A and B are shown apart, each in its own frame.
Chain A
Amino acid sequence: AQSVTQLDSQVPVFEEAPVELRCNYSSSVSVYLFWYVQYPNQGLQLLLKYLSGSTLVKGINGFEAEFNKSQTSFHLRKPSVHISDTAEYFCAVSEDDYKLSFGAGTTVTVRA
């Protein structure tokens, strides 16, 4: 069965600094990987996805993630954050085309 571990529950960061959110997964088969963002009082919005092909995936709002099969990781990065990036971020994994397993979430707080 698939599972996801987000290694940091809270990440404080200063505006214009880089940020990395770590995600590790476990699965016995090939997986599809996703990062979602949840802004306050809103639903989840897809940031980016890895289905196949290039292991470096670019998403919306300047985010990117790298799939590392040997380390079973899918870490999310942004080189320079803005106040508006303050949100909760979820890593998710799927072994098929419908069931998603989510990590516990990482709260990013961007300070001026």
Chain B
Amino acid sequence: DADVTQTPRNRITKTGKRIMLECSQTKGHDRMYWYRQDPGLGLRLIYYSFDVKDINKGEISDGYSVSRQAQAKFSLSLESAIPNQTALYFCATSDRGEKPQHFGDGTRLSIL
């Protein structure tokens, strides 16, 4: 089983719909992150969380919200999806004091 699991792996939806992407981890890490990947732009940080009560905006948080339901679960929501949010979304985790982050396999989101 994967240490960092993202669901769904693929999603196609329409403009204006509410979308939730979910991430769960079995690594026992405190810190969790959401990134989006766009061709030619690399990965950009959307939100990050140090624990259940500590959530912070990244560099591109507009149009997104998150919820840390438990240490192991971190979900990303698009309240009203728009086409320029079409991208590959990654969840990652890291342990306190550990610098490398561990990534899930991604969710490919298409908004028509």
Contact = CB atoms under 8 A, between A and B. Distances in A.
Interface residue range, chain B: 20 to 34
A94 B105 contact: no
A54 interface: no
A43 B5 CA distance: 10
A44 B35 CA distance: 12
Contacts of A41: 105
A103 B40 CA distance: 9
- The B interface, classified by DSSP as helix, strand, loop or mixed, is strand
Interface stretch (B14-22, B67-75, B79-87, B93-101): B93-101
B92 to A, nearest CB: 8
Interface centre among A4, A44, A90, A102 (most CB of B within 10 A): A44
A51 interface: yes
Interface of A: 4, 6, 9, 32, 34, 36, 41-46, 49, 51, 90, 94, 97-100, 102-105
Interface of B: 4, 31, 40-45, 48, 50, 90, 92, 94, 96-106
